[in-house]
Amino acid sequence: MTHPPAAAPVLPTHRRVLALALPMTLANVTTPMLGFVGAAVIGRLGDAALLGAVALGAVIFDAIFWSFGALRMATAGMTAQAVGARDAAEVDRVLARALAAGAVIGLSLVALQEPIAQLAFAVSGASAAVIAGIATYFHIRILSAPFVLASYGVLGSVLGRGRTDLGLLLQVAINLVNIGLTLAFVLGLGLGLAGAALAALCAEAAGLGLGLLVLARLDARPFRVPLRELRDAAALRRTVSVNVDVVLRTLALITAIVLFSALGARQGDVVLAANSILWNLFLIGGFFLDGFATAAETLCGQAVGARDAEAFRRASTLSLLWCLGFGIGVSLLALGGGAAFIDGVTTSAAVRETARAYLPLAALAPLVAAAPFAYDGIYIGATWTRAMRNLMLGALTIYGVVLAVVQSLNLGNTGLWLAFVAFLGARGLFQAFAFPGLARATFGTSSAKPIRKTASDFA
């Protein structure tokens, strides 16, 4: 197997961070726009229960698929380190393992769809009208699981190579196909929530096909990796360890989100619908920040692979600065334009009024989330996944304590948003506190002199 040598990382600059972050920022913005279109299409039918159903469906599948987001994150981090170490063969091995894992896990989810559905519906706390609306949606959408999870591996490989422009292409293609088919199936053919689910299934299948074509153009050869290399004991132990840590970290994050959704649903369909609109507003801000987290994954991972402490330090600093700057900007935009956003999503007067009441807290969330987003990228690139897991569990504990307090004070939905903001703040503080020691452990004993001259990359 022959490949061109990988590129050792150059010393990161503001321009380099922006060049990596902005394509993924643009790509990520299309994802909450997909949620916006879905909510707006269903919202125009004028039924709060249907809007609640599509919102709950989004939360359920976010919980299912994000639980295995480790496939993308771990693949990106390990690929970036292989690029920094100039190990081209390992890049293919990492991708091959990710594709195999995605296919196996996805097919398992399809096979177990009935118990998963029953558990999700029971935990959601939604009304009978919402559950009735979401059942057909669920059983169609779950069929996309193998395509979604295999695509996580594809995207992680692309991002670890530093090709966020191609990540933009893949994300935008999937989301635009999804949006177009949602409009066609729901409004054009009148298929309702089933049409929205079918649109997602078709878009994810098309996205995986496009991703494999993109990787082929990058001279990726995951299907030619010998089986004995995929089964290498040391490599498998590392792969499993990194992925399990990130899965547990993600499950903790999903637990926080599901608690938020379920406790909101117990306050009625109007609150559930209002929170879903504000959640989409938060996601728009969050996906802006995630572009800089992706840049941190690439730059920090490549620096660790090259044993370049100076490049790692600078990449971490720049990622934090840009995330905080964008966090301030996004929160101000949400505060100023949130009312218009709410009115554009729903025609229900009750939902509009309720969403406006909690807009200030929802607008604060992106600012508080800025540091956790940046540190997530740093930790993933460095594969500090055990620390990520433990710190997330600590933040989830804080979240549970705050939830108990606000529930005892009968603060309702205000308390729910306060608890979520406290959860975001705890994550950032814990990660900042642990960062110096982890960096010393990674680079403190290295005597290797880094090489920053770029030879070529996997582009």
76 confidence band (pLDDT: 50, 70, 90): very high
The tokens 């039924």 sit on which residue? 47
Give the burial string for 365-396 (b: 16+ CB within 10 Å, else e): bbbbbbbbbbbbbbbbbbbbbbbbbbbbebbb
Looking from the CA of 408 toward its CB, the CA atoms found within 13 Å total 6
Specify which of 141-155, 186-200, 251-265 reaches the highest per-range mean pLDDT: 141-155
Rounded Cα distance, 271 and 358, in Å: 10
Closest CA to 178 of 209, 201, 153, 155: 201
Instruction: Look up the pTM and report it.
Output: 0.80
* 8 secondary structure, DSSP code: P
Quote the pLDDT of residue 364.
94
**Secondary structure (3-state) at 296:** helix
Rg (CA), the chain: 21
Residues 137/196, Cβ–Cβ less than 8 Å: yes
What's the pLDDT tens digit per position in 291-336? Answer: 899 999 999 999 998 899 999 999 999 999 999 999 999 999 999 9
If pLDDT is split at 50, 70 and 90, which confidence band does 101 have? Answer: confident
Transcribe 188-238 into DSSP letters: IS--HHHHHHHHHHHHHHHHHHHHHHHHHHTT--GGGS-HHHHT-HHHHHH
CB 121 within 8 Å of CB 56: no
Structure tokens at 388: 């990520």
Weakest-pLDDT range from 71-80, 212-221, 360-369, 433-442: 212-221
Give CA–CA dist 219/133, Å, rounded: 45
Please say if the pLDDT value at position 113 is more than 90: no
Question: Is 99 within 8 Å of 150 (Cβ atoms)?
Answer: yes
- As a whole number of angstroms, the longest Cα–Cα distance in the chain is 65
Q: Assess whether pLDDT exceeds 70 at residue 452.
A: no
Amino acid at 7: A
Q: What is the mean pLDDT of residues 126-143?
A: 77
For residues 66 and 435, the model is more confident at 435
Listed range (13-17, 68-72, 304-308, 382-386) with the worst mean pLDDT: 68-72
What per-residue confidence (pLDDT) applies to 449?
46
To which residue do tokens 């308390």 refer?
Answer: 415
Tokens, residue 371: 């540091």
Which tokens belong to 279? 């959640």
CA angle at 104 for the pair 103 and 105, rounded to the nearest 5°? 95
- In angstroms, the CA 176 to CA 184 distance is 12
pLDDT score for 51: 66
Q: If you write DSSP's letter for every residue of 50-92 in order, what string do you get?
A: HHHHHHHHHHHHHHHHHTTTHHHHHHHHHHHHHHHTT-HHHHH
Mean of pLDDT over the chain: 84
Backbone phi and psi for residue 411, each to the nearest 5 degrees, phi listed first = -85, -5
Q: What average pLDDT does range 79-97 have in this prediction?
A: 86
DSSP for residue 132:
H
Residue 2 confidence (pLDDT): 38
Three-state SS annotation for 344-408: HHCCCHHHHHHHHHCHHHHHHHHHHHHHHHHHHHHHHHHCCHHHHHHHHHHHHHHHHHHHHHHHH
Highest mean pLDDT among 25-29, 199-203, 219-223, 353-357: 353-357
